[in-house]
Amino acid sequence: MRSLSIPLLAALLAASPALTQTAALAQGDTLAQVKARGHLVCGVSGGVAGFSMPDGQGRWHGLDVDFCRALAAAIFDDPDAVRFIPQSSAARFTALQSGEIDVLARNTTWTLSRDTAAMNFPVITFFDGQGFLVRKSLNVTAVKQLDRATICLQQGTTTELNTADWFRTRGLTYQVVTFANSEQTLGAYESGRCDAYSTDKSSLFGERLKTAHPEAHVILEEAISKEPFAPGVRQGDDAWRDLVAWTHYAMLDAEEAGITQENVDRLRGETLSPDVKRILGLEGKYGQGLGLTGDWAYRIVRHVGNYGDVFARNLGDGTPLKIPRGLNALWTNGGLHYGPPIR
Amino acid sequence: MDRASGRTRPRSGGRGARGGRRVPRSPRALALQALVALALAALAYVAATNASEKLARQGITAGFGFLGRSAGFDISQRLIPYAAATATYLDAFRVGLLNTLLVSGLAIGLATLIGFAVGIARLSPNWLVRTLAATYVETLRNLPLLLQLLVWYVAVRVALPEAQRPAAWGGAYLSQRGLVLPRPEFSGVAWLVPAAVLAGIVLSGAWARRRARRVEAGAAPGPIVGPALALVLGLPALAWIGLARAGHPVPVAWPAPGPYGPEGGLGILPEFAALLLGLSTYTAAFIAEIVRAGLNSVARGQGEAAAALGLSRAKTLALVTIPQAMRVIVPPLTSQYLNITKNSSLAVLIGYPDLVHVFMGTVLNQTNQAVEVVAITMAVYLTLSLGLAALMNAYNRRAAPGMR
């Protein structure tokens, strides 16, 4: 003991200044840090089909993944300059706050308490609502028929709160069983522990595909909540917040202007309307304000595509999910997506 | 078996743990120890100020004020009244803590029963009993606990009938949603029934003490198990029948099949049952080995002497071998009890709402108060473990007699 204590003491004292330095990087200019590092670090969910999921070769796919790729394309002209780190729903906010990730694109619902307590939500990238998956054999068509049913939920999500509110305000009762992750929740539902499995509707399409007999389950039409999914950034970095917001707006404006991944290079050589020229960076220097080059939006569309391209590739009719555009159509088609002008 | 002998030290191989206190310390050693203590305190101070500064800079608000805020989520198993609409995070904490205590307490009792039975069976002269016990121990303790929990929760549950077609037996229903039992309501005059149980326990204790005094005075020991069972079970049965005769029958909530499975009554959730069974059978394998080691540590002459006196094998175990083995059994047994308490947090993986599931899962996520929530949870487990260890050590000092 005696022979140990002095070196031990010295080691402890020597380590203490090191402790004080690690977290300091979390503050300040995120864009400068990302540029210096050479790649973006993006927090994703890692297991939600259509939003973020690695394929057999380990390449990431999904709407959230493509959002991060668009951000990387705007900064580095390289959609692969991203490192994806899967985040549990419990660890995601701390990971962002501590500087472990630059942006959290993890189908996270924008709520007031999260906005004020933990982070900023620059823009809504997907409009969702909470839905229910039930067995067809139950012949349930509306959520209110689930009175007295047992419902499987994933804990730590807004789903837990919405369900409690919805059933209580209608004077209905239910039994809840909650699990830490979606695999356990779906497993419990499928093995007969629950009558219904409730989570964001967009996830239910993918979850249903994971069951042994997808055709035996039905997703109820009704949504019982508003779930606006938004990427999260740290508070106190307005420039980074602007860049994240405008990455999404660029994809919306491109879709509205008819610029797609497929035609963007061809369009560049043609005579164009001024608004298309501004998006493609052929007129004005709009990228400068974001700390980027003039062709930032062109890079996004060329490497990743416009919002419609991304939606179709990850969620739309061409995919097994077949999620309808619905609220996620452009405002010109009756949806909620509306990009402010680039000018 | 006088009390003083319990404090005598073993004749051979004294551990000298108590002797260390009497060694005089040199000033140099004292100064060095003070220095180490000071350095540790300084380090803790630096770490604490550093953490609070970093948290403040990241906009994470510290403090325990969040415990009073409204929780707004439901919990599947509640031992105290809890409604999502009015409950606070502190209520959710209480519900989780009680669930942890319930499953740990019952698992400790069950694991001890199974463990002693298997441990004794391992030393049985009967080949079949011995081999079965050995197989139990080697299977259960060599498979990961998590795997065993999943077997109990998934494999066993799936084998049960569907919720809409439960197996019914005497007013109870068994299905994939768990076991639903008729629940007696001990309100009004019906409190007499639980009171009778309590009285039965107190009277049994008095009977046991009286019997011990008689034995010390040299009289033959009278029966003990029969009278105790009669008191603990008979008194409440009498109260039950008496109340019914007097026109105040104890009301019973009978479960009934509903559209989504059996409803009403006392529900035992599959998550709870799986965790309880998994924890107790797993830990019982370790306890069995501890019991076997303890029994083997008692000198063989003790058993032979008891046999020479004409005591049966059961009496020899109960009166001679086990009491002397306890001083070897209790310290490692304490560790197993602590393991049960801590392993109960594996509840998270099968959806049982224990402290970690409710508090570190949902509450942490809703409030983002990671530091506070984790600190509280650690403090709870530390308190539980230290309390349990202190209890067992006190028992060991008082009750376990020395080696003969």
- The answer to whether B32 contacts A5, with C-beta atoms less than 8 Å apart, is yes
pLDDT category at A13 given cuts 50, 70, 90 is very low
- The answer to whether B349 contacts A184, with C-beta atoms less than 8 Å apart, is yes
List strands edge to edge, sheet with B167-169: B167-169, B172-175, B178-181, B266-268
Q: Exposed (0-12), middle (13-18) or buried (19+): which is A88, by Cβ within 10 Å? A: middle
pLDDT of the residue at B6:
42
Percentage of chain B with pLDDT > 90?
55
DSSP character at residue B9:
P
CB < 8 Å to A24, chain B: 54
pLDDT of the residue at A71:
97
pLDDT category at A8 given cuts 50, 70, 90 is very low
Percentage of chain A with pLDDT > 90?
68
Lowest mean pLDDT among A227-231, A251-255, A282-286, B93-97: A282-286
* Residue A26 scores a pLDDT above 60: no
Dihedral angle computed from the Cα positions of residues B32, B38, B41 and B46, in that order, rounded to the nearest 10 degrees: -110
CB < 8 Å to A188, chain B: 351
For residue A110, the distance in angstroms to the closest alpha carbon of chain B comes to: 13
For B290-330, write each residue's pLDDT tens digit: 999 999 999 989 989 999 999 998 889 988 899 899 989 99
pLDDT of the residue at A27:
55
* Residue B222 scores a pLDDT above 80: no
For residue B151, the distance in angstroms to the closest alpha carbon of chain A comes to: 13
pLDDT of the residue at B59:
60
Tell me how many residue pairs between chain A and chain B have CB atoms under 8 A apart. 129
Q: Strand B178-181 and strand B266-268: pairing? A: antiparallel
Mean of the per-residue pLDDT values of chain A? 88
pLDDT of the residue at A269:
80
* Residue B12 scores a pLDDT above 70: no
Average pLDDT over residues A307-324: 93
pLDDT of the residue at B272:
96
Interface of A with B in 59-88 (CB under 8 A): none
Question: B226-235 long-range CB contacts below 8 Å, 24 or more apart?
Answer: B228/B204, B231/B199, B231/B200, B231/B201, B231/B203, B231/B204, B231/B207, B232/B197, B232/B200, B232/B201, B232/B204, B233/B200, B234/B200, B235/B196, B235/B197, B235/B199, B235/B200, B235/B203
pLDDT category at B265 given cuts 50, 70, 90 is confident
pLDDT of the residue at B401:
60
pLDDT of the residue at B246:
86
For A213-241, write each residue's pLDDT tens digit: 999 999 998 899 999 999 999 999 999 99
Dihedral class, residue B59 (left if φ above 0, else alpha if ψ from -120 to 50, else beta): left
pLDDT of the residue at A107:
86
Interface of A with B in 263-292 (CB under 8 A): none
For A35-62, write each residue's pLDDT tens digit: 999 999 999 998 888 999 999 999 999 9
The distance of Cα A317 from the centroid of its chain, to the nearest Å, equals: 20
Helix (H) or strand (E) holding A287: none
pLDDT category at A116 given cuts 50, 70, 90 is confident
For A243-270, write each residue's pLDDT tens digit: 999 999 999 999 999 999 999 999 888 8
Residues of B143-182 as b/e, b for ≥16 C-beta within 10 angstroms? Answer: eebeebbbebbbeebeebeebbebeeeeebbbbbbbbbbe
ipTM of the complex: 0.78
Average pLDDT over residues A152-169: 90
CB < 8 Å to B361, chain A: 90, 155-156, 178, 180
pLDDT of the residue at B123:
93
Q: Which residues pair with A219 in a beta bridge?
A: A133
Name the residue among A119, A124, A123 with its Cα closest to residue A236.
Answer: A119
Average pLDDT over residues B130-147: 96
* Residue B267 scores a pLDDT above 80: yes
Q: Does A137 touch chain B (CB under 8 A)?
A: no
Task: Show the tokens assigned to B398.
Answer: 């008082």
Mean of the per-residue pLDDT values of chain B? 88
pLDDT of the residue at A3:
41
pLDDT category at B23 given cuts 50, 70, 90 is low
For B145-176, write each residue's pLDDT tens digit: 999 999 999 999 999 998 888 999 888 999 99
Residue holding tokens 């004294």? B14
